[in-house]
């Protein structure tokens, strides 16, 4: 096998133009394939990182998201009396009743986009989310129509910068601060006092969800048992906060993957055909050489292996280049509509080890598919006919 492998490398270097063209096609396919996986990973990572592991979100059963969940004041009082809820230094429960609505903000080009407005408890919100920090300005005054905004919102909308004014439910609310949620979904939200939001949107004492902190994260099972035993809460469910927001990403990630893989498959068919044409051309141009190798004693399997390895090597190179180029997408943030919350979500492309592995495997598969038939044809060539050039 030593001679055929050296022969393969020699011819691989000699046919530069056809090789470069084929590699470029494979590179494009793998770039698109990697980008799709990175998009889905980015959405999942952004929403999965939204929340703390010792927090619990309470919503109505069957609600697709917070905006479709309704919790009355009576239920809020019941939840607040449950055991295993953490308390602050004053002995008060660390809990936040949160009305969630979707508002419209205008972009510089005049388009209207949906943005999530979350009513929060100013006393407990930063104990529930200690990783969220105000990086510019100050916290809102619970007695006034003031809000703070996530960094992604402040960057995207001019009226959402400090000192700006946002129209909410017919009134003007002043932006007094910008907070950093470290790339989580909260960065795409606006926060105001929950009572002010209830009044402005005529919600009465109803909220969309309740977020509470457990005194100990492993106590969730005990908390869930106490929650389930109260018949007044039979229409509601309690979910660990990271899990709850991770589940909110499923619809969007599924859509991205289905659409992206559909486009990728179309591209990959073209790339595989390109590789196949290249390899068929090489078989036709090297018929005499193939006959010579067979005459020297190399079997059909050796010839098949050589040509198939050439095709796989071309695809592997394209796969490595495509994956490397896709990795630079991690420096890009994009905004899209979250189909669960019907509001904008800003996230970054995220490269993972599984993405790299899947991309390389996909490239190898394309090389195998594109090179198998030409390689089989080369292996089946009659020795005498091949030596005669046909």
Neighbouring-strand partners of residue 167 = 172
Higher pLDDT, 63 or 321: 321
pLDDT per residue over 240-290, tens digit each? 988 888 777 667 677 777 777 777 777 777 767 776 776 666 666 666 566
Both tokens assigned to 276: 């196949």
Triad 21, 23, 29: Cα angle to 5°: 110
Categorize the per-residue pLDDT at 96 as very low, low, confident or very high, splitting at 50, 70 and 90.
very high
34: Cβ contacts below 8 Å, ≥ 6 apart: 322, 323, 326, 327, 351, 355, 356, 359
Identify the pLDDT of residue 252.
66
DSSP 8-state symbol, 382? -
| pLDDT at position 320 over 70 | yes
Work out the percent of the chain whose per-residue pLDDT is above 90.
38
Categorize the per-residue pLDDT at 384 as very low, low, confident or very high, splitting at 50, 70 and 90.
low
CA distance 61 to 76: 15
| pLDDT at position 89 over 90 | no
| pLDDT at position 368 over 80 | yes
| pLDDT at position 3 over 60 | no
| pLDDT at position 386 over 60 | no
Identify the pLDDT of residue 270.
73
Among 36-40, 110-114, 116-120, name the one with the lowest average pLDDT: 110-114
Half-sphere exposure of 223 (CA within 13 A, CB side): 26
Identify the pLDDT of residue 372.
75
pLDDT per residue over 122-162, tens digit each? 999 999 999 999 999 999 999 999 999 999 999 989 889 99
- When pLDDT is averaged across residues 217-242 and rounded to a whole number, the result is 92
Q: What are phi and psi of 304, to 5 degrees?
A: -60, -45
Identify the pLDDT of residue 145.
94
Classify 73 as helix, strand or coil: helix
CA distance 384 to 258: 50
| pLDDT at position 76 over 60 | yes
Identify the pLDDT of residue 88.
86
Q: What are phi and psi of 134, to 5 degrees?
A: -80, 120
Categorize the per-residue pLDDT at 13 as very low, low, confident or very high, splitting at 50, 70 and 90.
low
- pTM for the predicted model, two decimal places: 0.74
Both tokens assigned to 347: 């996230």
Identify the pLDDT of residue 222.
93
Categorize the per-residue pLDDT at 86 as very low, low, confident or very high, splitting at 50, 70 and 90.
very high
CB atoms within 10 A of CB 206: 17
Categorize the per-residue pLDDT at 314 as very low, low, confident or very high, splitting at 50, 70 and 90.
confident
In angstroms, how far is CA 384 from the centroid of its own chain? 57
| pLDDT at position 343 over 80 | no
CA distance 380 to 205: 80
């Amino acid at each position: 096998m030593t001679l055929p492998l050296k022969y393969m490398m020699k011819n691989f270097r000699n046919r530069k133009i056809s090789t470069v063209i084929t590699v470029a096609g494979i590179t494009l396919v793998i770039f698109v394939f990697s980008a799709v996986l990175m998009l889905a990973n980015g959405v999942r990572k952004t929403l999965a990182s939204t929340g703390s592991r010792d927090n619990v979100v309470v919503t109505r059963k069957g609600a697709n998201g917070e905006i479709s969940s309704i919790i009355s004041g009576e239920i809020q009082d019941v939840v607040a009396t449950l055991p295993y809820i953490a308390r602050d230094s004053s002995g008060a429960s660390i809990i936040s009743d949160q009305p969630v609505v979707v508002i419209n903000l205008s972009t510089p080009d005049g388009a209207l986009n949906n943005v999530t407005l979350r009513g929060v408890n100013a006393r407990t919100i930063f104990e529930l989310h200690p990783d969220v920090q105000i990086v510019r300005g100050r916290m809102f005054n619970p007695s006034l129509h003031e809000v703070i905004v996530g960094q992604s919102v402040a960057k995207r909308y001019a009226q959402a910068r400090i000192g700006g004014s946002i129209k909410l439910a017919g009134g003007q609310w002043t932006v007094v601060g910008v907070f950093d949620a470290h790339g989580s979904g909260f960065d795409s939200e606006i926060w105001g006092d929950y009572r002010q939001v209830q009044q402005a949107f005529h919600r009465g004492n109803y909220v969309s969800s309740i977020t509470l902190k457990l005194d100990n994260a492993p106590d969730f099972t005990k908390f869930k048992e106490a929650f389930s035993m109260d018949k007044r809460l039979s229409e509601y469910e309690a979910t660990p906060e990271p899990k709850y927001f991770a589940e909110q990403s499923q619809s969007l990630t599924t859509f991205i993957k289905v659409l992206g893989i559909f486009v990728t498959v179309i591209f990959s068919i073209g790339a595989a055909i390109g590789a196949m044409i290249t390899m068929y051309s090489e078989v036709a141009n090297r018929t005499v050489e193939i006959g010579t190798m067979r005459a020297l004693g190399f079997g059909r399997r050796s010839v098949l292996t050589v040509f198939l390895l050439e095709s796989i090597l071309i695809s592997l190179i394209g796969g490595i280049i495509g994956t490397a180029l896709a990795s630079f997408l991690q420096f890009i943030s994009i905004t899209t509509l979250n189909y669960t919350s019907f509001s904008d979500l800003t996230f970054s492309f995220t490269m993972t080890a599984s993405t790299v592995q899947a991309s390389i495997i996909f490239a190898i598969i394309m090389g195998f598919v594109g090179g198998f038939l030409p390689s089989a044809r080369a292996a089946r060539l009659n020795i005498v006919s091949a030596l005669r050039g046909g």
